[in-house]
Amino acid sequence: MKNFYQYLEKSPLKTTPQRLAILKEINKKGHANVDEIYKSVKKNFPSISLATIYKNIIALKEANILSEVCTPNKNKFEITKKPHAHFICENCGFIEDIPLDEAIDSKIEAKYPNSKKELYIYGVCEKCKGK
């Protein structure tokens, strides 16, 4: 399990129970949309509002703790990690992280320093292929 206290301590954000709950939930799911996060976090924080979830996700994203994954339906969020691609199932919305070749990543970084890299691969996942 990741130490989310350290993530927050290294950022300009305060460490709050709500932020920790959001990070733990996203880490547990791998990729989660705002509604999924809200539904899960609300179990432990019944008085939390959807607006609070949105505000915290935006703050965590601006602090580069979270990254947004653009999907055809609702965008999802993940804990920021080294650059990678995403396979997105066109049927069920399943998302899988796919490592980027380090040589390609190095070439991109050499030509475009500090660039943001996003690569999306769309297709049908193994589960949906079997249906």
| Residue-range definition of the domain harbouring residue 26 | 4-68
Same domain, 18 and 55: yes
The pTM score is: 0.86
Same domain, 15 and 49: yes
> How many C-beta atoms lie closer than 10 Å to residue 90's C-beta?
12
Would you state the structure tokens that stand for residue 69, as one six-digit string? 């994954």
In-domain check, residue 99: yes
Same domain, 10 and 63: yes
CA distance 92 to 71: 11
In this structure, are residues 67 and 30 in contact, taking their beta carbons and an 8 Å threshold? Answer: no
pLDDT (tens digit, 0 to 9) for every residue of the chain, 131 residues total?
A: 478 888 888 899 999 999 999 999 999 999 999 999 999 999 999 999 999 999 999 999 999 999 999 988 899 999 998 888 999 999 999 999 998 888 888 888 899 988 877 889 999 999 999 87
Query: How much is the pLDDT for 78?
Result: 96
Same domain, 92 and 124: yes
Query: How much is the pLDDT for 6?
Result: 85
CA distance 81 to 21: 19
In-domain check, residue 73: no
Q: Which CATH number belongs to the domain containing residue 16 in this structure?
A: 1.10.10.10
